[in-house]
């Protein structure tokens, strides 16, 4: 009996020891599970944070692309120059620019215009206007009339006008030519500043600056605005306003007789460097019989006659 009780006691002690061991093993396992759950949660949070950051980065890049689409093009020289100027301007305000800024070089037109002389007496029949001498702003002759000659321009056109003294002389010249069996037609006389401006700008647009400056005057520098000049032509060849006009009977007569009526052929052949214009045997200018005779005899230009060299 005692043995049985003894065995039971031993079994009880054994069972209690096993139970305590199981409890001890269970506790570390639970702690391990808890730690693993915490690690997993930390990892998941880190991954979520990383994903959110990547999403923000992508969103920010897309926003920049939308707002700066124009920056995809290459920078032009003009952009570079503008940036340099901005940087230079900003630095110069503080006097610390590291780049030497060269002064602007004025273009030829500005330089030429600044050197042009405004004539003192635009009403004189001896007035000289050319590329270095211009009429006063707003000048318009007050004695413009229409001479009684044949015209190419339609009635009412300002090109039919001349100042009174030149108009009378032109009538006499046409009469003299008619007595010699020749038939002239007046093509273009007075031109206002505005009209000359249109002609010059059209010439530049159609033929280029160099050509325009050889054959057309800038507004304010045209003899036609003085009311003392007229382009004439042969009635049979009215369209021939070119150097070949000198080969016509009218052209030859004009070159030899215009001075008798107070006119000169204003732009002579071989004098382009002085007058500034190419040869125009059709363009006559009234200066009065005395001066016209001297200019003709010397075969010179008005610039040379009055010592006004360019």
Residue 310's pLDDT is what?
A: 80
Residue 237's pLDDT is what?
A: 82
**Predicted confidence (pLDDT) per residue in 4-19, tens digit:** 655 665 666 566 555 5
Distance CA 195, CA 159 (A): 10
CATH topology of domain 116-306: Muramoyl-pentapeptide Carboxypeptidase; domain 2 (3.30.1380)
- Sign of the CA dihedral with 73 first, then 76, 82, and 86 last: positive
Residue 129's pLDDT is what?
A: 96
Long-range contacts of range 96-103, CB-CB < 8 Å, 24 or more positions apart?
A: none
Residue 226's pLDDT is what?
A: 98
- Which of the residues in the chain have pLDDT under 70? 1-114, 239-240
**Predicted confidence (pLDDT) per residue in 120-140, tens digit:** 999 999 999 999 999 999 999
What is the 3 state secondary structure string of the chain? CHHHHHHHHHHHHHHHHHHHHHHHHHHHHHHHHHHHHHHHHHHHHHHHHHHHHHHHHHHHHHHHHHHCHHHHCCCCHHHHHHHHHHHHHHHHHHCCCCCCCCCCCCCHHHHHHHCCEECCCCCCCCCCCECCEECCCCCCCCCEECCCCCECCCCCCHHHCEEHHHHHHHHHHHHHHHHCCCCEEEEECCCCHHHHHHHHHHHHHHHCHHHHHHHCCCCCCCHHHHCCEEEEEEHHHCCCCCHHHHHCHHHHHHHHHHHHHCEEEEECCCCHHHHCCCCEEEEEEECCHHHHHHHHHHCCCHHHHHCCCC
Distance CA 277, CA 229 (A): 15
Is 99 among the residues known to form the active site?
Answer: no
Which residue is catalytic, options 223, 250, 280, 303?
280
Classify residue 307 as left (phi > 0), alpha (psi -120 to 50) or beta: left
Within 10 angstroms of residue 237's Cβ, the number of other Cβ atoms is 15
Residue 213's pLDDT is what?
A: 85
């Amino acid at each position: 009996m005692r043995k049985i009780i003894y065995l039971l006691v031993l079994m009880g002690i054994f069972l209690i020891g096993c139970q305590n061991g199981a409890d001890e093993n269970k506790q570390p396992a639970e702690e391990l599970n808890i730690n693993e759950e915490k690690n997993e949660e930390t990892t998941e949070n880190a991954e979520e944070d990383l994903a959110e950051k990547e999403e923000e980065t992508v969103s920010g890049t897309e926003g920049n692309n939308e707002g700066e689409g124009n920056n995809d093009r290459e920078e032009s020289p003009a952009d570079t120059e503008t940036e340099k100027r901005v940087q230079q301007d900003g630095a110069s305000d503080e006097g610390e620019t590291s780049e030497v800024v060269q002064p602007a070089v004025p273009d030829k037109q500005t330089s030429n215009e600044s050197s042009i002389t405004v004539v003192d007496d635009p009403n004189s029949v001896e007035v000289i206007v050319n590329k270095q001498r211009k009429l006063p702003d707003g000048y318009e002759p007050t004695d413009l009339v229409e001479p009684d000659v044949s015209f190419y321009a339609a009635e009412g056109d300002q090109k039919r006008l001349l100042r009174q003294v030149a108009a009378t002389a032109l009538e006499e010249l046409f009469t003299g030519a008619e007595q010699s069996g020749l038939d002239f037609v007046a093509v273009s006389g007075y031109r206002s500043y505005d009209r000359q401006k249109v002609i010059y700008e059209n010439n530049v647009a159609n033929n280029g600056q160099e050509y325009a400056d050889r054959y057309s005057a800038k507004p304010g520098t045209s003899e036609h605005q003085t009311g003392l000049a007229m382009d004439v032509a042969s009635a049979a060849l009215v369209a021939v306003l070119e150097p070949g006009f000198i080969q016509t009977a009218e052209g030859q007569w004009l070159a030899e007789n215009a001075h008798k009526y107070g006119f000169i052929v204003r732009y002579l052949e071989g004098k382009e460097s002085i007058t500034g214009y190419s040869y125009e045997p059709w363009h006559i200018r009234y200066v009065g019989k005395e001066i016209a005779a001297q200019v003709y005899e010397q075969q010179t230009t008005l610039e040379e006659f009055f010592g006004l060299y360019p």
